[in-house]
Amino acid sequence: MEQIRVFVSGATGKMGREVVRAVIADKELLLVGAADTHFQGSDAGQLAGTDPVGIKITALSAESLKTSGAQVMVDFTTPKSVLANGKLALENGVRPVIGTTGLTDNEMAEIRALAEKLQTGAFIAPNFSIGAILMMNFAREAARYFPHVEIIELHHDQKLDAPSGTGLKTAEMIASVRPEMSQGHADEYEKLPGVRGGEFKGLRIHSVRLPGLVAHQEVIFGGLGQTLSIRHDAFNRETYMTGVIHAVKKVLEIQGLIVGLENIM
């Protein structure tokens, strides 16, 4: 069986190094390129904690993508660069698997339009954890019966966007089955601006950023005389690799853009 040729963008970041290790470990995949703004010229395998693999960290460019012969590019970079990276991959015949969060609806629409124009595939997921996908699905089901709900998402203090992609996706899934409504007392007021969190169609999302955290989310539902909490905790970045590798293999079968790991499981 021919191996799938994979390029990793953001290869020296915490998630990028994890992806590099996962690609190297999977016999169906072949690491053919790695890009980042840091550690250029270093061996991607060594930086990820494995034996040298002969793949040097380069800048991401049309040339580095073409030279690598990549079929799929996995992107875990920053919200500021992910749109350009995804479009660059598509324009050079490489299918992007994007885990970087922070893309707006308009930016995702740009990627969708380009993938459709080029008759190729692209994949975006706010979360690659199977447990997180189940948490979101359970929350959507619970919202049919418990319309009063708030989301608390907790991440490490180096995360740039808030709310997290998972928090926002959860809110969207809940809103799809729950009528928009106001929560709390009609006359409530904030002594500190923003203390009640961000509002999304009547529900509140609270973002916590602290060292020591990785990725965690709790969805709390309130009803008469009872509450229901649905929580997911990711304690390390290996949590996401099963989903990432699954997406890398599935994206070759996709036409257009698919958003959400649940849609390819």
Instruction: Give me the active site residues, please.
Output: 155, 159
Task: State the virtual CA torsion across 62, 67, 71, 76 in degrees, nearest 10.
Answer: -60
Strand partners, 5: 30
Nearest-Å Rg of the Cα atoms of the chain is: 20
Burial state string for 5-18 with b = 16 or more CB within 10 A and e = fewer than 16? bbbbbbbbbebbbb
236 phi and psi angles, rounded to 5 deg = -155, 170
State both tokens at 195. 């203390």
**Nearest alpha carbon to residue 33 among 70, 75, 79:** 70
C-beta neighbour count of 37 within 10 angstroms:
14
30 and 55 in contact (C-beta within 8 Å)?
no
Q: In the beta sheet, which residues pair with residue 199?
A: 204
Cα–Cα distance for residue pair 11/34, rounded to 1 Å: 6
SS3 186: coil
Question: What is the rounded CA–CA span in Å between residue 116 and residue 257?
Answer: 8
Q: Residue 144 corresponds to which tokens in the numbers above? A: 């049919």
